[in-house]
Amino acid sequence: MQQAVVLPGTQKIRVSGGGIRRLLADLDYLPEDERDQVRQAYEYGARAHHDQRRRSGEPYISHPVAVATILAQLRLDSETIVAALLHDVIEDTPTLRVNLEDHFGQQVAAIVDGVTKLTRLRKAGHSETQAASFRKMMLAMVDDIRVILVKLADRLHNMRTLDALDRERQQRIARETLEIYAPIANRLGIRTIRREMEDLGFRYAWPQRYRVINRHLNQRPRHPRAVLRRVSDRLRRALKSADLEGSISARAKSAYSIYTKMREKQLTFKEIADVFGLRIIVPDIDACYRCLGIAHQLFRPMPGRFKDYIAIPRVNGYQSLHTVLLGPEGMPLEFQIRTPEMHRVAEGGIAAHWQYKAEDKSVLPAQFRTQEWLRRITEMQATAHEEEFYDHVKVDLFPDKVYVFTPKGEILRLPRGATCLDFAYAVHTDVGHRCVAARVDGQVTPLRSQLKNGQNVQILTSRNAHPNAGWLEYVATAKARSAILDYLKNTQTREAREVGAVLLNQALADRGSSLRKMGRGPFEEALEELGVASRQELYEQIGLGERLATLAAAVVMNPGKKRSGDRRRKLTPVDIAGAEGMVVTYGKCCYPIPGDEVVGHTSSGRGFVIHRNTCGNFRAERKHKDRWIPVNWKRRIRLEFPSGLRIHIDHRPGVLAEVAARVAETGHNIAQVNMQDRPEESTELFLSVLVKDRDRLARVIRAIRTLPSVHRVQRV
């Protein structure tokens, strides 16, 4: 039984002295021929950077050596180490990629070129530029994960040397590190880099808060240290009695993790329960659970504070048993129990796959999960714009998860706050598009319901179901949001083109022509004059209200000729049925329904909006005649439309139920209810009732008026 009690807060990657000898000493795991290649890379880089210095005054080569040393301490392969030594030569010296290919091979040159492209991304404050840069960074990671490993080490060393910069740049770089680089390191499972980035970022971004928390940590070092020694001695003896081998080390939460927990849970420092703890490393999984049982016999566990990350690993591949126990004097201590292989992955994450192992090239859990994540990133970048992609991936970078079961017993990991709709899209995009409800633990549940750990979830689907914009309000995962947005964009584009073609055809009909009669040559000439690339683009612009069909028709009829806008032709009405999709909407100001005299108004971004001809908005905007188009209802419309009613009623208990019952008696449904809370004897009730036409609405109004408590019913 070995024991090594390490004092809290002392574990981190070593700071390189800047010399090649220290780096080569850290590379003792590599064979001699690969270490020779590292020496050659150092000499090549030293010559390339010979006349350059860092802001601190040190020779520039000290920076690549420090970056390579960070990666060497993760025991990465020789190609990554060589690339780290050369990662700035393309950017800062006359060296070309082809030169690196000649000397060190295509793999090294590709990694260096990838890092160079990330370095060249313009650093600007505009959010779109930041989002575009972030997108390129993530896609570089997809091409070769070692590109981002070098970039993370590069950023970590720059964080260590921030003292050479002014205060404004320190804060900007520190916050960028906390927002992007540290979460990426965490998502890849590289704890050593992530933890140091977080503490350095915290120190420079919020120096006063950093000092306060560190002062609290250092005010009582003797008491926790003594307790940790007593607990570790007692546990060591118990493990020895059970014939279990292992090592025990003390650990402490970092200042940044304490700060984030205080902020998220609104706690004081004294209320943080598990600042200190022990890490126990035992030979195999069976020993992990045996050790857990022994620890629970020695110390009382805190309810609800046990997590089995061995059975259900974290999204980054992390595996361990976590339990919080009450030690001597009631001091809460977190125990982490894992195997040596789990510990290697916990510290190095995806980097563990690239660690030099001549004989072992098996796929690790961390590698498998990272490959899944990178595949999702590839899917997202194909459909999302920069801003959307940035938001989607940032959600995935903070994997605070819930674990739920499919009907087949498989486990799905979703972010906390995920809903049944997120679950549906996690199963398959087609399942998400067709879902109507969920069955959670046997109970039918709305799609918006948030999921909890351990629930069994089954998705109910329908061929007629499809996404709508409201779904975006209650999804938490990047995959679901991206799939819904992609569907809505494609659907809106298709519907806009269909409506735009109808509107343009009607406008041409008013001029005695039609789309069929238009020759290809004149139409293409008109497209060029209008500045659009194709007929479909013109239809889309008209359907979305970005271009007037009447003006477009004038150009199409007579391309290249001057047109006066003062002549108003009699317009042919457009026929509607309520099933035109998202680009045809119905004004909430007047709630038009079949049977009403209606007009259409083209609105940029909203498409074609239908109003009653008695609507106040229509009367106020009649001077803009070019945007108003006559509309007719098609015959035999089967859809129901919302119609607003304003009802003046007695203010007494049960009156709302009476109104709802009377509406139900007519065979109609209420879509929305809003009742004013007044102290007077009477009040006003707003109802949105679903009806097919004016006749059916009239029946509803007559039925409501028969109630004694109703004084007046008006249509909105």
CB distance 477 to 426 below 8 Å:
yes
CA distance 681 to 376: 59
C-alpha neighbours within 13 Å on the C-beta side of residue 362: 4
Residue 123 phi, psi dihedral angles, 5° rounding: -90, 105
CA distance 495 to 608: 11
For 561-622, give the secondary structure using H, E and C.
Answer: CCCCCCCCCCCCCEEECCCCCCCEEECCCCCCCCCCCEEEEEECCCEEEEEECCCHHHHHCC
Cα–Cα–Cα angle for 139, 143, 149, nearest 5°? Answer: 85
CA distance 684 to 266: 42
**pLDDT at residue 382, rounded to an integer:** 58
- Residue 77, classed as helix, strand or coil, is coil
CA distance 655 to 673: 13
Name the token pair of 586: 């119905």
Which of 34, 92, 144, 391 does the annotation list as catalytic? 92
> Mind listing the pLDDT tens digit for each residue in 50-77?
889 888 888 999 999 999 999 999 889 8
**pLDDT at residue 17, rounded to an integer:** 41
CA distance 440 to 674: 31
CA distance 401 to 27: 37
> Over the chain (716 residues), what is each successive 10-residue block's mean pLDDT?
34 48 90 93 92 87 94 91 94 90 92 80 45 62 80 94 90 89 85 93 93 80 75 94 92 86 80 82 94 93 88 82 89 92 82 52 54 65 59 57 80 84 93 91 88 87 82 85 83 79 83 80 80 84 76 78 51 69 76 89 71 80 68 83 91 86 90 74 87 92 92 91
**pLDDT at residue 99, rounded to an integer:** 92
Spell out the domains of the chain, with CATH numbers in brackets: 15-110 (1.10.3210.10), 217-342 (3.30.460.10), 485-633 (no CATH), 641-715 (3.30.70.260)
C-alpha distances in angstroms, 585 versus 49, 538, 610, 632? 64, 20, 6, 15
C-alpha distances in angstroms, 208 versus 3, 178, 202, 204, 653? 37, 17, 10, 9, 57
> pTM above 0.85?
no
Q: Is 486 a catalytic residue?
A: no
> Mind listing the pLDDT tens digit for each residue in 282-311?
999 999 999 999 999 999 998 888 989 998
Q: Is 128 a catalytic residue?
A: no
CA distance 384 to 392: 9
C-alpha distances in angstroms, 436 versus 426, 431, 459, 462, 465? 15, 10, 8, 7, 7
Which of 34, 58, 91, 341 does the annotation list as catalytic? 91
CB distance 336 to 277 below 8 Å:
yes
